[in-house]
Structure 1
Amino acid sequence: MRICVYLGSSPGRSPVYRKAASEFGHLMAERGIGLVYGGGAVGLMGVIADAVSEAGGEVIGIIPEALRAREVDHQGITELHVVKTMHERKAMMAKFADGFVTLPGGIGTFEEMFEAWCWAQLGYHEKPCGLLDVNGFYAGLSSFIDQVVEEGFLQPRHREMMLIDTDPATLLDRMLSYRAPNTEHWLDERDL
């Protein structure tokens, strides 16, 4: 089993984020779960890759050629795939992963998380999507998503597809036992 983790190419201001990324990486490896991620050696991306590697786990990185210098492609991982575009990166990450987890990050992290969740809603995949709320980082977003449901722009069953938790072990347990709700498969899998 492999989980694609979306997280920042920056470390964030508080050391709590680095600690959470390291602990989550060690926990994944201890449970025999491989990491699929953006391939960088900097920020939280580098922290989680190092943690999974140190604990003896599999680490697959996928990085676009244009980001190799900025994100400093990680040379100490199991596999590093260099692709031409962000679209190729995201498609390959989704292909290799059995689920998706988001840790703190910036706009790129948010975009990837929302895309994976949207793909689940549209029936492109039935993989679990999780959000690890480290130190209340995603508390405001979680409230906003609930407001989107209340205002009728998101169905409760689609809201339930995003598993949000503050405890990494509990989040992994929920992901491992996840069963996708019935969704209409509006699009063919070949469209991915």
Structure 2
Amino acid sequence: MNTVAIFCGSKAGNNPIFVEHAQKVGQYLAEQGKTVIYGGGRTGLMGVIADSTLQAGGKVIGVIPTTLVDRELAHPQLTELHIVSTMHERKAKMAELADGFIALPGGAGTLEEIFEQWTWAQLGIHLKPCAFLNINDFYTPLLDMISKTVDTGFTQARFADHLFHSESIEEILEKFENYQAPEPKWGVQ
């Protein structure tokens, strides 16, 4: 696994622990020789991930739609920046470039991005791991809801079991390195 897509907030959140962890994540990924794929922005946790990875000598590839470039939200110092037409193209390009996907804290966009990738994994569109970095129990209520979807018969347990979560980036990367994709929902594609 060489590339890791990070989905996270374009805001920093109201608890400094989110920024502290994003800095550690970027630094750790750089130290491990991983290239970060992310949404290309310079604000919030997105900017923190990019800056900390670059400062630690790592590579960062951004993928951003033209409308956000036009609003001057693109990070100006990335290793590589892909400018695409739409948000749909952005997600598809990130999925193409990444070997795995991690969600740090964020809002609706972060949730939408990680859930789309998890859905694609279930359908066999890709066979890549997905995870939540559960900083300060940010995702615990959501993880409980995912368990409820298993308990009520809407999600197969094998897919929930392969949606990793931890407070530790090290643990998530270890799980990614040993990842064996479950059989897709409708059989092998």
**TM-score in terms of structure 1 length:** 0.94
Deviation of 1:185 (Å): 5.6
Cross-structure match for 1:127: 128
Against the structure 1 CA distance between its residues 39 and 15, is the aligned structure 2 distance closer, same or farther, given a 3 Å change threshold?
same
The alignment status of 1:67 with 2:106, answered yes or no, reads no
Deviation of 1:187 (Å): 9.2
Do 1:117 and 1:161's aligned partners in 2 also have CA atoms closer than 8 Å? Answer: no
The alignment status of 1:179 with 2:172, answered yes or no, reads no
Match of 1:74, SS state, is coil
- 1:141-170 deviation line (CA, Å, top 9, x unaligned): 011100110000000011112111111111
Do 1:124 and 1:185's aligned partners in 2 also have CA atoms closer than 8 Å? Answer: no
The alignment status of 1:37 with 2:38, answered yes or no, reads yes
Match of 2:78, SS state, is coil
The alignment status of 1:20 with 2:21, answered yes or no, reads yes
Cross-structure match for 1:109: 110
Cross-structure match for 2:50: 49
Match of 1:81, SS state, is strand
The alignment status of 1:141 with 2:142, answered yes or no, reads yes
Q: Which amino acid in the other structure matches residue 74 of structure 2? A: D
Cross-structure match for 1:159: 160
- 1:74-99 deviation line (CA, Å, top 9, x unaligned): 01110011111011101110111000
Structure 1: which 5+ residue stretches go unaligned? none
- 1:40-88 deviation line (CA, Å, top 9, x unaligned): 0000000000011011111000100112255710011100111110111
* Equivalenced residues, count: 188
Quick one: distance in 2 between partners of 1:175 and 1:126?
11
Cross-structure match for 1:168: 169
- 1:1-39 deviation line (CA, Å, top 9, x unaligned): 000000000000011000111101111011111000000
Quick one: distance in 2 between partners of 1:47 and 1:82?
20
Quick one: distance in 2 between partners of 1:111 and 1:123?
18
Cross-structure match for 2:11: 10
Q: Which amino acid in the other structure matches residue 182 of structure 2? A: P
Q: Which amino acid in the other structure matches residue 67 of structure 2? A: A
The alignment status of 1:92 with 2:90, answered yes or no, reads no
Structure 2: which 5+ residue stretches go unaligned? none
Q: Which amino acid in the other structure matches residue 79 of structure 1? A: E
The alignment status of 1:83 with 2:98, answered yes or no, reads no
Q: Which amino acid in the other structure matches residue 5 of structure 1? A: I
Quick one: distance in 2 between partners of 1:86 and 1:135?
29
Runs of 4+ in structure 1 over 4 Å off: 184-188
